């Protein structure tokens, strides 16, 4: 059974009257956690796409960029997107249930937020309502401010691309300590790590952009430290 068929079944249970709590409780542990991750991004992304008052073709296409969808899975994927749009549950309910499922927080929460940021900027505009939406979701998720700012710096077109913000470090930190943060970020971005914490194989491509961003930030920081005072 493909990922998209399993997701479609889970969303159908929601639309048939099963509670959000019951559905997410069934999806707490691997391998079903990958289903929960995908539902989280789709459901919150579909609601966020309406935050600026208009669901554009670019925002819908962004789902395809977050998740690689095989041709044979396209009908099921389309059904999933439509079910997510029809769902009337509030986004805060979803965010709270998702946060409870990822009770350890950490990298898995960043993975989720990264997918949402990707969708938010897909149309080339980061609307204030989308920013407010993401800030509220990050607050519910318990995402530290530094990590939220790092995501914003990486994704928002007109945000300053300060390398220290991208890595979530302070400019006054020793280079050796910054190197440790960078190395840990590289480890957590490895596909095997992402799969182990519930990111579906179809979405691991998110790591490609993340690796580019964090490596570029590290290169800029290390170059600054090597410059003569």
Q: What is the pLDDT of residue 122?
A: 77
Mean pLDDT of 40-49: 78
Cα 98 from Cα 26, distance rounded (Å): 12
- Whole-model pTM: value is 0.78
Q: 156-168 in b/e burial notation, b at 16+ Cβ within 10 A? A: beebeeebbbbbb
Do 66 and 41 touch, CB atoms closer than 8 A?
A: yes
Q: When comparing pLDDT for 124 and 154, which is higher?
A: 154
Task: State pLDDT tens for residues 58-103.
Answer: 555 667 667 777 777 777 766 666 666 665 567 888 788 778 877 6
Pick from 88-97, 105-114, 121-130: least confident: 88-97
Q: When comparing pLDDT for 220 and 115, which is higher?
A: 220
pLDDT higher than threshold 90 for residue 11? no
Q: 31-68 in b/e burial notation, b at 16+ Cβ within 10 A? A: eebbbbbbbbbbbbbbbbbebbeeeeeebbebbebbbe
Q: What is the pLDDT of residue 199?
A: 82
Indicate the domain borders of the chain. 3-226
């Amino acid at each position: 059974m493909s990922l998209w068929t399993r997701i479609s079944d889970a969303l159908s249970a929601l639309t048939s009257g099963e509670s959000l709590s019951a559905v997410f409780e069934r999806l707490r542990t691997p391998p079903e956690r990958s289903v929960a991750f995908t539902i989280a991004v789709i459901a919150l992304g579909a609601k966020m796409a309406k935050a600026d008052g208009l669901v554009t073709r670019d925002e819908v296409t962004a789902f395809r960029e977050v998740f690689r969808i095989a041709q044979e899975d396209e009908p099921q994927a389309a059904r999933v997107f439509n079910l997510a749009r029809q769902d009337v549950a509030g986004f805060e309910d979803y965010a709270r249930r998702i946060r409870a499922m990822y009770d350890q927080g950490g990298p898995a929460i960043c993975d989720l937020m990264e997918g949402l940021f990707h969708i938010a900027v897909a149309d080339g505009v980061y609307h204030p309502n989308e920013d407010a939406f993401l800030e509220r979701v990050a607050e519910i998720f318990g995402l530290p401010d530094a990590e939220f700012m790092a995501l914003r710096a990486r994704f928002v077109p007109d945000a300053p691309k300060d390398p220290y913000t991208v890595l979530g470090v302070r400019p006054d930190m020793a280079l050796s300590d910054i190197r440790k943060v960078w190395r840990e970020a590289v480890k957590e971005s490895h596909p095997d790590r992402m799969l182990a914490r519930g990111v579906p194989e179809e979405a691991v491509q998110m790591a490609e952009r993340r690796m580019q961003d964090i490596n570029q930030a590290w290169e800029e920081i290390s170059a600054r430290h090597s410059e003569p005072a």
